[in-house]
Structure 1
Amino acid sequence: MTPAPHHRTRPRTHHPPALDLIALRDQHLHHYLSYATLALPAAAARQALHDAFDDLARRWPDVLATPSPTACAWQSVRHHVARACPDLLGPVAHLTAPEQDVLLLHLVLGLPTAEVAEITGADPAAVHVRLRSLVRRAG
């Protein structure tokens, strides 16, 4: 009688990042780090970004097939930072994720709306609409 197969999880293997992923990371690293350090100590922020880009490296061919690899990178950063610090988005949890992005990146970190669009992979017009909506609700 043959023993039942064991279902083991595969050990995580290191996936060296592709050059275009490295370029994307390096292009926005300063802003990603600023975002992550809103609520995390510097070492934890760097670890969250490392985890985000390790995750992206594992699925990079699929990411490249999406309409916006930049948006995928931002979502990975956002996910890993939120996982490391669930309280980061607590005060803005009532907002949609894109509204949270505009609020934190533009209003808190002071990035121009064009940079917010570039970092998040969003349409610049959509960033302006979200910002106007936030200002209108606050006013």
Structure 2
Amino acid sequence: MPPTWHGDRPCRPRRQIRLYRVGPWALRDLHYDRYLRYAALRLSTADACSAIKEAFDELAEWWPHVLAARSPAACAWQAVRRHVCTMAGPLPPVAHLSEPQQDVLVLHLVLDLPETEVAELTGTDLAAVQMHLRSVRAARRHPL
């Protein structure tokens, strides 16, 4: 693409990050603070960092397949979640909820992330996040 002109000097178009070249590290860096807050709820800080590192080392091995998935962010979230849960075990107070419901509950209601950030972090649609929140709230009002 030829440069466009801005006043008397050419302007080059911004280069887009090419995820296939930088690997999963750009995705990790984008959400690292939120991954760490989630992991640190259940693990020591050192173990939380280790779980995230292991998740992204795993993603690096499968990176072309991750990029071919509908949502690389969802793949990354699942890897982080899986490694945290492997190290920490199940979350007893919400073990009866589905994994997506647990994610929304912890990320939105415990970590206080806005619904849009929960959707972005987990690689799901905002509508799905809102639906899971409604179902969790309904379950709290009507226990079995």
Structure 1-normalised TM-score? 0.84
Structure 2 counterpart of 1:53, from 51, 56, 60:
56
1:125 pairs with one of 119, 124, 127: 127
The 1-side partners of 2:53 and 2:117 are apart by 22
The structural deviation recorded for 1:18 is 4.9
State the distance in 2 between where 1:18 and 1:58 align: 13
Amino acid aligned to 1:122: T
- 1:101 equivalent in structure 2: 103
The offset of 1:90, in angstroms, is 2.2
Alignment correspondent of 1:9: none
Q: Shift in Å at residue 39 of structure 1?
A: 1.2
Any conservation in 1 of the 2:23–2:63 contact (CA below 8 Å)? no
Larger Rg: 2
Residue by residue, what CA displacement relative to the aligned partner does 1:106-130 show, whole Å, maximum 9, x if unpaired?
0110000000000000110110111
Where does residue 22 of structure 2 map in the other structure?
19
**Closer, same or farther in 2 for the Cα pair 1:107/1:55, shift >3 Å?**
same
- Partner of 2:106: helix, strand, or coil? helix
Q: Deviations over 1:70-127 (max 9, x none)?
A: 000000000000011004x222111111000000000110000000000000110110
Number of residue pairs aligned between Structure 1 and Structure 2? 122
Alpha-carbon displacement from aligned partner over 1:42-76 (angstroms, at most 9, x marks no partner): 00000000000000001001111110010000000
Partners in 2 of 1:90 and 1:137 — Cα distance? 16
| 1:75 equivalenced with 2:78 (yes/no) | yes
Aligned partner letter, 2:138: R
Structure 1 stretches of 4+ with a deviation exceeding 6 A read: none
CA displacement at 1:136 relative to structure 2: 1.6
**What is the distance in 2 between the residues matched to 1:20 and 1:125?**
29
Residues 18 and 57 in structure 1, CA contact (< 8 A), matched pair in contact too: no
Q: Report what 2:67 is aligned to.
A: 64
Gap regions ≥5 residues in structure 2: 1-19
Relative distance call for 1:77 and 1:18 in structure 2 (3 A) is farther
Tell me the SS of whatever aligns to 1:37.
Answer: helix
The correspondence of residues 3-18 of structure 1 with structure 2, limited to 5 A, is 18=21
Question: Which structure 1 segments of 5+ residues have no match?
Answer: 1-16
Kindly indicate whether the alpha-carbon contact (under 8 Å) linking 2:23 and 2:60 is maintained by their aligned counterparts in 1.
no
